[in-house]
Amino acid sequence: MSEINQPLSILEVNHIKKTFGTFDAVTDLTFKLHPQETLGLLGPNGAGKTTTLRMLAGFLPPTQGEIFVNGFSLVGHPILSRKQIGYLPENVPLYLDMTVKEFLIFIANMKRLHKQKRKEELDRVLNFLSLESVESHLIGKLSKGFKQRVGLAQAILGKPKLILLDEPTSGLDPEQTVEMRQLIKKLNKDSSVILSTHLLSEVEKVADRVLIMNQGTILASGKPSELTDRLKVKRYYRLGVKGNDEKVMVLLKSITGVESVLKLKSLEEYNFYRIVSNPKAEILSQVLEKLVHDHIEIREMVEEESKLEDVFLALVRNQEKASTHI
């Protein structure tokens, strides 16, 4: 097996494991990352997201297993493989005593960009992250949002094939978070991206694929939409009908598979409800049948996308259950 074959994947992670003392922070992780793919690493505090990214960035050597970046082994070719990686560590560490430009030149030199390319890249990155207005400001004096952008700037400098971002939106206000996500979405033009987060909504918004982690292992993986589909815990429907509120409530609750009914609002003569059902029960036809039978006029009935939050909670709960059984 040649190490330098043209890879189909930007990143190949083979059964990596990280043990601190006797504690397994990451146990047996295997996955691949395709060109231009954005992967979300999702998990609660202590899941092992940072530890994983630190291994992928070449900071922590895995206790076991191998990592190949664009075909190069992180251990065998540390410099070559790291040249393909841009990494934004958790909490955005920066040299606060440098100006934005001085810092980025330092990083460009460390990444060994050639002088001509360096200038080009510097301009591109400053422009991409709208940092021109603060390029001669001290990093220590910048707002949190700008610091985060400087952190992202150093990561993407030199157009690395693989960009690793550890909780890139943590600590930002809602507006800055939205801006940051928009920037991250644009990164996959030149690179593959892995970002970690404990916000499920974030993954839904920016990732093509998600790995859900807990206690150092992958609980589930897939497209955010697939995952909600496959592992759906509950189904949610929104129903709008005309007429008698109490009668409808009773009727809906009598259907097998319906777990709860919540009245959302009344609009003109219509009432709107949220129905939560067991995922295995097909309640749609039953609901329609009964409503028609009782001559209740239906305005709408739609299945709402279930939230990744629920999937996630269920997965974590299942895992915890499993571990307490042992």
Position 46 contacts ligand ATP (CB under 6 A): yes
- Read off the DSSP letter of residue 307: P
Out of 4, 75, 112, 132, which residue is the one contacting other proteins (CB under 8 A)?
Answer: 112
Under rule CB under 6 A, residue 20 binds ligand ATP: yes
- Tokens standing for residue 66: 């191998």
Q: Any contact of residue 228 with Mg ion (CB under 5 A)?
A: no
Which residue, 272, 298, 271, is CA-closest to 284? Answer: 298
- In angstroms, give the least distance from the CB of 201 to other proteins: 26
Nearest-angstrom CA–CA distance, 135 and 151 = 13
Which conformational region is residue 167 in: left (phi greater than 0), alpha (psi within -120 to 50 degrees), or beta?
Answer: left
**Binds 48: which of Mg ion, other proteins, ligand ATP, none (CB < 5-8 Å by kind):** ligand ATP
197 touches Mg ion (CB under 5 A): no
Kindly list the distances between the CA atom of residue 211 and the CA atoms of 190, 235, 257, 259, in Å, as whole numbers in the listed order: 22, 22, 30, 29
Q: How far is the CB of 229 from other proteins (least distance, A)?
A: 36
Residue 136 binding other proteins, by CB under 8 A: no
* 102 in contact with other proteins (CB under 8 A): yes
Instruction: Tell me the closest approach of the beta carbon of residue 98 to other proteins, in angstroms.
Output: 8
Q: At 312, list the tokens.
A: 């996630």
Stretch binding Mg ion (CB under 5 A), from 55-63, 83-91, 237-245, 246-254: 83-91
- Residue with Cβ nearer Mg ion (50 or 99): 50
Residue 129's closest CA among 168, 90, 167? 168
Closest-CB residue for Mg ion? 50
Q: Residue 200: enclosing H or E segment and its boundaries? A: helix 200-206
Site for ligand ATP in 65-94 (CB under 6 A): 90
The correct pick among 10, 43, 47, 50 for binding Mg ion (CB under 5 A) is 50
Distance of alpha carbon 32 from alpha carbon 10, whole angstroms:
8
Collapsing DSSP to helix, strand or coil, 297 comes out as: strand
Residue 45, contacted partner among Mg ion, ligand ATP, other proteins, none, CB below 5-8 A by kind: ligand ATP
Q: Which two tokens stand for residue 321?
A: 């259950």
Residue type, 49: K
- Which partner from the list Mg ion, ligand ATP, other proteins, none does 20 bind, CB cut-off 5 to 8 Å by kind? ligand ATP
Q: How far is the CB of 246 from ligand ATP (least distance, A)?
A: 46
CA separation for the pair 47, 18 (Å, rounded): 12
CB of 271 to other proteins, least distance (A): 52
Footprint (CB under 8 A) of other proteins, residues 148-167:
154
149 close to 72: Cβ distance less than 8 angstroms = no
User: Angle CA(170)–CA(190)–CA(175) in degrees, nearest 5?
Assistant: 30
Among 4, 8, 76, 97, binds other proteins (CB under 8 A): 97
Residue 169 found at the interface with Mg ion (CB under 5 A):
no
- Specify whether the CB–CB gap between 269 and 245 falls below 8 A: no
From the list other proteins, ligand ATP, Mg ion, none, partner contacted by residue 59 (C-beta under 5 to 8 A by kind): other proteins
β-strand pairing of 85-88 with 38-42: unpaired
109 near other proteins, judged by CB under 8 A: yes
Report 154-213 residues binding ligand ATP (CB under 6 A).
198
Task: List, in order, residues 6 or more apart from 51 with CB less than 8 Å away.
Answer: 18, 25, 26, 60, 216
Q: Where do contacts with ligand ATP occur on this chain (CB under 6 A)? A: 20, 23, 25, 43, 45-51, 90, 198
Q: Where do contacts with other proteins occur on this chain (CB under 8 A)? A: 54, 57-61, 78-80, 82-83, 85, 87, 89-91, 93-98, 102, 106-107, 109-112, 154
